[in-house]
């Protein structure tokens, strides 16, 4: 693909398969993202389990902005800038319940759960123009719910959530994402730029080198050689165990047990391609039977396969991933803390009985990237990132050389960011978002129309 015309954006992606290193540490570039990108994009602000009852609230922090997400008395979800209209004090931190509304801890101004100002002490001492009712309530933030989460956008004129996250939403509808809930929630402080942190999960070129335990002989038999069904099945079980233990639950332990019970019973055809398809059909059906037997809400996994929604990962620009496998999934969220520091969170999502009381997971204290409690597979990913961030500062290094065939999503991601940084209207960026909000793995460089 040819180079694009020069841009007013510093270090813009002029050659699609070359990404300038300064994009990952330059303070001015980071400041431009803070001004032009993050205030204009939909962000996953909290899971709905965090605000299960009327007047429950949770705060969401992105750079220097703080947002309150709150349940109304009618169980609707709305959001407000987390700042008192008097002298700019943040009202709340973390999460809790505002049974009588929000009260500023400095001078006692009060607000209802609907954001309306309900009390100003010594109001008669203020000029009338400082007490206009339509100016002293909390400032609303655009907020919608999807997939068991509340999403916010700091731009009141932004396109709606669904338009902005397709086709991610269509894929997740098939998986019934709203019926998956956390078993745990971990948080990590990574000493890398937020884009670099995400890019470790946007390609699978790294997998065999970074994750050698995933090199499993027998999973993909060589063409022309006799098919060994027993070896194939043992490799499949090993893979499921590795993914379950290595990710602390992306393949749920219950699904591994279902596979272990199924293996001695299944009869596979001699053709390796047909054998793999048969095994997947049998395992999908067995997983669904087991979970429905426990009254868990789960879709028909074979129907998901038939409809073409079995991608191993689906990305939602700019900071959210879902990795579904059988009954369960991992969810990733990334937020910048500085030019070379990122907060990454992982939720392990699984199925619960319909109507079950859902546990509220505590807000996690962030672990260091090399904390021994980090699950094994993320530990391997995290081990590379600080080395890469430091390497980018080398005087000998100018830009990343992207494979236009298998690492193209990285280029598509950066060029869409440039669209925001240039000030392109959000509606004009929707076609590019539709190319990004998909499985990022093995994607080519695309013409995004930017």
pLDDT per residue as tens digits for the range 173-202: 999 999 999 999 999 999 999 999 999 999
How far is Cα of residue 125 from the mean position of the Cα atoms in its chain?
A: 48
Residues found in the chain: 450
DSSP code per residue over 292-326? HHTTB----HHHHHHTT---S-EEETTTEEEEEET
Instruction: Give pLDDT, residue 6.
Output: 52
Mean pLDDT of 302-325: 96
Output the CA angle 326-330-331, nearest 5 degrees: 135
Share of the chain above pLDDT 90, in %: 87
What HEC string does 18-35 produce? Answer: EEEHHHHCCHHHHHHHHH
Burial class (CB in 10 A: 0-12, 13-18, 19+), 256: middle
**Domains assigned to the chain:** 43-157 (2.102.10.10)
Q: Which pTM does this prediction carry?
A: 0.94
Q: How far is CA 61 from CA 38, 65, 82, 156, in A?
A: 11, 6, 10, 18
Quick check: 300 and 227 in contact, CB under 8 A? Answer: no
Of 367, 323, 10, 417, whose CA–CA distance to 191 is shortest?
367
Q: Is 415 helix (H, G, I), strand (E, B) or coil?
A: helix
Most confident of 190-194, 200-204, 223-227, 353-357: 190-194
Other residues' Cβ atoms within 10 Å of the Cβ of residue 353: 11
Q: How far apart are CA 24 and CA 413, in angstroms?
A: 13
User: Contact, 252 vs 244, CB < 8 A?
Assistant: yes
pLDDT at residue number 207: 78
In whole angstroms, give the CA distance from residue 71 to residue 309.
Answer: 32
Answer yes or no: is pLDDT of 1 > 60: no
In this prediction, residues 44-66 reach a mean pLDDT of 97
Helical ranges in 158-205 per DSSP H: 161-165, 168-175, 194-199
Sign of the CA dihedral 355, 356, 362, 367?
A: negative
In this structure, are strands 110-111 and 56-62 parallel, antiparallel, or unpaired?
A: unpaired
Find the Cα–Cα–Cα–Cα dihedral 346, 19, 316, 82, rounded to 10°.
Answer: 70
Q: Comparing 270 with 111, which gets the higher pLDDT?
A: 111
Kindly report, residue by residue over 330-339, the tens digit of the pLDDT: 999 999 999 9
């Amino acid at each position: 693909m040819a180079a694009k015309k020069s841009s007013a954006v510093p270090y813009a992606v002029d050659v699609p398969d070359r990404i300038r290193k300064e994009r990952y540490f330059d303070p001015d570039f980071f400041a431009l993202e803070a001004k032009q990108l993050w205030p204009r994009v939909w962000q996953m602000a909290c899971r709905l389990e965090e605000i299960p009852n009327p007047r429950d609230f949770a705060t969401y922090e992105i750079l220097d902005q703080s947002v309150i997400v709150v349940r109304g008395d009618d169980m609707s979800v709305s959001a407000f800038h987390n700042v008192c209209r008097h002298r700019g004090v943040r009202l709340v931190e973390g999460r809790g319940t505002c049974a009588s509304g929000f009260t500023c801890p400095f001078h006692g101004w009060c607000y209802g759960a609907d954001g309306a100002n309900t009390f100003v002490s010594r109001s008669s001492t203020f000029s009338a123009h400082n007490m206009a009712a339509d100016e002293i309530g909390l400032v609303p933030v655009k907020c919608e719910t999807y997939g068991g989460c509340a999403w916010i956008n700091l731009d009141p004129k932004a396109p709606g959530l669904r338009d902005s996250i397709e086709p991610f939403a269509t894929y997740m509808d098939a998986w019934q994402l709203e019926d998956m809930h956390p078993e745990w929630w971990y948080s990590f402080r990574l000493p890398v730029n937020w884009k670099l942190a995400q890019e470790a999960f946007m390609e699978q070129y790294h997998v065999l080198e970074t994750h050698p335990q995933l090199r499993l002989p027998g999973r993909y038999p060589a063409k022309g050689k006799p098919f060994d069904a027993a070896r194939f099945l043992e490799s499949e079980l090993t893979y499921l165990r590795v993914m379950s233990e290595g990710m602390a639950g992306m393949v749920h332990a219950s699904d591994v047990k279902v596979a272990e019970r199924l293996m001695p019973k299944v009869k596979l055809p001699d053709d390796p391609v047909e054998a793999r398809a048969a095994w997947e059909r049998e395992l999908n059906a067995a997983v669904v039977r087991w979970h429905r037997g426990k009254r868990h809400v789960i879709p028909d996994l074979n129907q998901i396969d038939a409809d073409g929604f079995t991608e191993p990962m689906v990305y939602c620009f700019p900071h959210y991933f879902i990795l579904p496998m059988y009954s369960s999934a991992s969810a990733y969220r990334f937020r910048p803390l500085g030019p070379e520091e990122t907060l990454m969170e992982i939720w392990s999502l699984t199925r619960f009985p319909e109507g079950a009381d859902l546990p509220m997971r505590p807000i996690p204290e962030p672990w260091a990237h090399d904390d021994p409690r980090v699950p094994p597979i993320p530990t391997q990913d995290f081990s590379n990132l600080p080395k890469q961030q430091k390497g980018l500062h080398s005087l000998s290094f100018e830009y990343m050389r992207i494979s236009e065939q298998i690492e193209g999503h990285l280029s598509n991601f950066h060029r869409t960011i440039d669209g925001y940084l240039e000030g392109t209207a959000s509606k004009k960026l929707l076609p590019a978002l539709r190319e990004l909000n998909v499985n990022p793995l093995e994607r080519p460089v695309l013409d995004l129309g930017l």
